[in-house]
Chain A
Amino acid sequence: MSDDSRWNLRRALRLPPTRTRVRAAVDEELEFHIEGRAAELIAAGMPRDEAFAEARRRFGDYARIEREVEQLSRRRSRREAFGDWMEGVVGDLRYAIRSLTRQPLFAGAVVLTLTLGIGATAAIFHAVDRVVLHPLPYPNADRIVYLGQQWGKGSPIGAVSAGRFQFWHDNSRSFESLGTSQTFSAQLGADDAAGSIDGIKVTPEFLRTVGATPEFGRPLAPRDYEPGAPATAMLGHSFWMARYGGNHDVIGKTIHLDSTTYAIVGVLPESFEIAELTHSPAVVVPLVFSDDVLASPGANFTAIGRLRAGVTATQLGQDMTSVFASYQRAFPERVEKNDYGIVALRYQDIFVSDIISPLWIMFGATLFVLLLACANVANLAFARALSRQREFAVRSALGAGRSRLIRYIVAEMLVLGVASAVTATVASLATVRGLTGLANGALLHDAQLRLDPRVVVWTAATALIASIIIALVVAGATTRTDVTRSLSSSARAGGLGGSASLRGLRGFLVSLEAALAMVLLAGAGLLITSFANVLRVDGGFRREGIYTASIAHPPSDYSNSVTMHQFEDRVLSSLRATPGIIGAGATQTLPLVRGWNLPTTVEGHDDLTEGASEFRAASPGYFSTMGIRLVGGRDFSALDVAASPRVALVSEAYAKRFFDDATPIGRRILIGCFKGCPRDTTRMAYEIVGVVADLRDASLEEKRLRHTVWVPLAQVERRMLRVPAFVVRATDARVGATALRRAVADAEPRMGIPDIAAMTDIVSRSMSWRRFSTVLMVCFAALALALTCVGIYGVASYSVSQRVQEIGVRIALGAKPGSVVALVVRQGVRPAVIGLLVGVVLALGLSRILTKLLFGVGPRDPLSFAAVAAVLLGVAIVASYLPARRAARVDPASALRVE
Chain B
Amino acid sequence: MVRRSSSAAAQPDLGLLRGTLDLFVLKTLSWGPMHGLAVLQWIERTTQRRLQIEEGALYPALHRMEAKGWLDAEWGHTDAGRRAKFYRLTAAGRRQLTAELSKWQSYSEAVAMIVSAKEASL
Return the contact of A60 from the options B5, B36, B75 (Cβ within 8 A): B5
Asked, given contacts A60-B57, A61-B56, A76-B67, whether A28 binds B7 with beta carbons under 8 Å apart, the answer is: no
Q: Is the CB of A32 within 8 A of B37?
A: yes
Most buried by A among B5, B63, B76: B63
Q: Chain B's nearest CB lies how many Å from the CB of A58?
A: 5
Q: Is the CB of B83 within 8 A of A28?
A: yes
Which chain B residues border A72 with CB–CB below 8 Å?
60, 63-64, 66-67
Which chain A residues border B63 with CB–CB below 8 Å?
69, 72-73, 76
Which chain B residues border A3 with CB–CB below 8 Å?
83
| Complex-state Cα separation, A581 to B52, whole angstroms | 115
Q: Is the CB of A4 within 8 A of B83?
A: yes
Interface residues of A in 688-706 (CB under 8 A from B): none
Which chain A residues border B40 with CB–CB below 8 Å?
33
Chain A, 65-79, contact with B by CB distance < 8 Å: what is the 0/1 string? 100110011011001
Asked, given contacts A8-B74, A29-B36, whether A65 binds B67 with beta carbons under 8 Å apart, the answer is: no
Which chain A residues border B74 with CB–CB below 8 Å?
8, 11
Q: Chain A's nearest CB lies how many Å from the CB of B81?
A: 12
Q: Is the CB of A60 within 8 A of B60?
A: no
Q: Is the CB of A60 within 8 A of B83?
A: no
Return the contact of B56 from the options A28, A30, A73, A79 (Cβ within 8 A): A30
| Residue B88 at the chain A interface, CB threshold 8 Å | no
| Complex-state Cα separation, A68 to B63, whole angstroms | 9
Which chain B residues border A138 with CB–CB below 8 Å?
none
Quick one: closest B residue to A6, CB to CB? B75
Return the contact of A58 from the options B35, B36, B55 (Cβ within 8 A): B55
Return the contact of A36 from the options B37, B59, B64, B76 (Cβ within 8 A): B37
Q: Chain B's nearest CB lies how many Å from the CB of A320?
A: 69
| Residue A216 at the chain B interface, CB threshold 8 Å | no
Q: Chain B's nearest CB lies how many Å from the CB of A594?
A: 77
Interface of A is mostly: helix
Q: Is the CB of A32 within 8 A of B56?
A: no
Quick one: closest B residue to A65, CB to CB? B56
| Residue B94 at the chain A interface, CB threshold 8 Å | no
Chain B, 1-24, contact with A by CB distance < 8 Å: what is the 0/1 string? 000110110000000000000000
Q: Is the CB of A37 within 8 A of B83?
A: no
| Residue B82 at the chain A interface, CB threshold 8 Å | yes
| Residue A167 at the chain B interface, CB threshold 8 Å | no
Q: Is the CB of A62 within 8 A of B37?
A: no
Asked, given contacts A30-B59, A59-B56, A60-B56, whether A75 binds B85 with beta carbons under 8 Å apart, the answer is: no
Which chain A residues border B57 with CB–CB below 8 Å?
60, 65
Interface residues of B in 49-105 (CB under 8 A from A): 54-57, 59-60, 63-64, 66-67, 74-76, 82-85
Q: Chain A's nearest CB lies how many Å from the CB of B9?
A: 11
| Complex-state Cα separation, A4 to B35, whole angstroms | 15
Which chain A residues border B36 with CB–CB below 8 Å?
29, 32-33
Quick one: closest A residue to B68, CB to CB? A76
Q: Chain A's nearest CB lies how many Å from the CB of B91?
A: 17
Asked, given contacts A4-B83, A28-B83, A60-B8, whether A33 binds B55 with beta carbons under 8 Å apart, the answer is: yes
Return the contact of B7 from the options A8, A60, A75 (Cβ within 8 A): A60
Quick one: closest A residue to B4, CB to CB? A64
Q: Is the CB of A8 within 8 A of B75?
A: yes
| Complex-state Cα separation, A292 to B56, whole angstroms | 96
Quick one: closest B residue to A11, CB to CB? B74
| Complex-state Cα separation, A206 to B35, whole angstroms | 81
| Complex-state Cα separation, A32 to B75, whole angstroms | 12
Quick one: closest B residue to A55, CB to CB? B55
Which chain B residues border A59 with CB–CB below 8 Å?
54-56
| Complex-state Cα separation, A60 to B84, whole angstroms | 20
| Residue A7 at the chain B interface, CB threshold 8 Å | yes
Q: Is the CB of B59 within 8 A of A32?
A: no
| Complex-state Cα separation, A37 to B7, whole angstroms | 19
Q: Chain B's nearest CB lies how many Å from the CB of A790?
A: 52
The interface size bin for chain A is 20 to 34
Asked, given contacts A65-B60, A69-B63, A73-B63, whether A60 binds B37 with beta carbons under 8 Å apart, the answer is: no
Which chain A residues border B54 with CB–CB below 8 Å?
58-60
Which chain B residues border A25 with CB–CB below 8 Å?
75, 85
Q: Is the CB of B59 within 8 A of A61?
A: no
| Complex-state Cα separation, A36 to B5, whole angstroms | 24
Interface residues of A in 1-51 (CB under 8 A from B): 3-4, 7-8, 11, 25, 28-30, 32-33, 36-37
Q: Is the CB of A60 within 8 A of B55?
A: yes
| Complex-state Cα separation, A208 to B72, whole angstroms | 68
Which chain B residues border A64 with CB–CB below 8 Å?
4-5
Q: Chain B's nearest CB lies how many Å from the CB of A74?
A: 10
Asked, given contacts A36-B37, A72-B60, A72-B63, whether A29 binds B55 with beta carbons under 8 Å apart, the answer is: no
| Complex-state Cα separation, A569 to B94, whole angstroms | 104
Quick one: closest B residue to A5, CB to CB? B75
Q: Is the CB of B75 within 8 A of A4?
A: yes
| Complex-state Cα separation, A445 to B48, whole angstroms | 84
Q: Is the CB of B5 within 8 A of A37?
A: no
Most buried by B among A36, A37, A62: A36
Interface residues of A in 604-637 (CB under 8 A from B): none
| Complex-state Cα separation, A602 to B30, whole angstroms | 113
Q: Is the CB of B67 within 8 A of A29?
A: no
Which chain A residues border B35 with CB–CB below 8 Å?
29, 32
Q: Is the CB of A32 within 8 A of B82?
A: yes
Q: Is the CB of B56 within 8 A of A62?
A: yes
| Complex-state Cα separation, A61 to B40, whole angstroms | 17
Quick one: closest A residue to B38, CB to CB? A36
| Complex-state Cα separation, A59 to B56, whole angstroms | 5
Most buried by A among B7, B59, B66, B83: B59
Which chain B residues border A60 with CB–CB below 8 Å?
5, 7-8, 54-57
| Complex-state Cα separation, A61 to B63, whole angstroms | 17
| Complex-state Cα separation, A36 to B63, whole angstroms | 19
Q: Chain B's nearest CB lies how many Å from the CB of A654?
A: 90
Which chain B residues border A76 with CB–CB below 8 Å?
63, 66-67
Q: Chain A's nearest CB lies how many Å from the CB of B109?
A: 33
| Complex-state Cα separation, A324 to B33, whole angstroms | 93
Q: Is the CB of B56 within 8 A of A29?
A: no
Interface residues of A in 58-106 (CB under 8 A from B): 58-62, 64-65, 68-69, 72-73, 75-76, 79
Q: Is the CB of A32 within 8 A of B55?
A: no
Which chain A residues border B76 with CB–CB below 8 Å?
4
Q: Chain A's nearest CB lies how many Å from the CB of B10?
A: 10
Which chain B residues border A65 with CB–CB below 8 Å?
56-57, 59-60
Q: Is the CB of B60 within 8 A of A69?
A: yes
Asked, given contacts A69-B59, A72-B64, whether A61 binds B5 with beta carbons under 8 Å apart, the answer is: yes
| Complex-state Cα separation, A65 to B83, whole angstroms | 20
Which chain B residues border A79 with CB–CB below 8 Å?
67
| Complex-state Cα separation, A79 to B69, whole angstroms | 12
Return the contact of B75 from the options A7, A30, A62, A69 (Cβ within 8 A): A7
Q: Chain B's nearest CB lies how many Å from the CB of A17?
A: 11
| Complex-state Cα separation, A29 to B73, whole angstroms | 11
Q: Chain A's nearest CB lies how many Å from the CB of B101?
A: 25
Chain A, 825-843, contact with B by CB distance < 8 Å: what is the 0/1 string? 0000000000000000000
Q: Chain A's nearest CB lies how many Å from the CB of B59?
A: 5
Q: Is the CB of A32 within 8 A of B84?
A: yes
Q: Chain B's nearest CB lies how many Å from the CB of A253?
A: 68
A-B pairs with beta carbons under 8 Å apart, 21 shown: A4-B83, A8-B74, A11-B74, A28-B83, A30-B59, A32-B83, A32-B84, A32-B85, A33-B36, A37-B37, A58-B55, A60-B5, A60-B56, A62-B56, A64-B4, A65-B57, A65-B59, A72-B60, A72-B66, A73-B63, A76-B67
Nearest 3 CB-CB pairings of A with B = A60-B56, A65-B56, A72-B63
| Given A4-B75, A60-B7; 19 other pairs, CB 8 A cutoff | A3-B83, A4-B76, A8-B75, A11-B74, A25-B85, A37-B37, A59-B54, A60-B54, A60-B55, A61-B56, A62-B56, A64-B5, A68-B59, A68-B60, A69-B59, A72-B60, A72-B63, A72-B64, A76-B67
Q: Which residues of A pack against B, CB within 8 Å?
A: 3-4, 7-8, 11, 25, 28-30, 32-33, 36-37, 58-62, 64-65, 68-69, 72-73, 75-76, 79
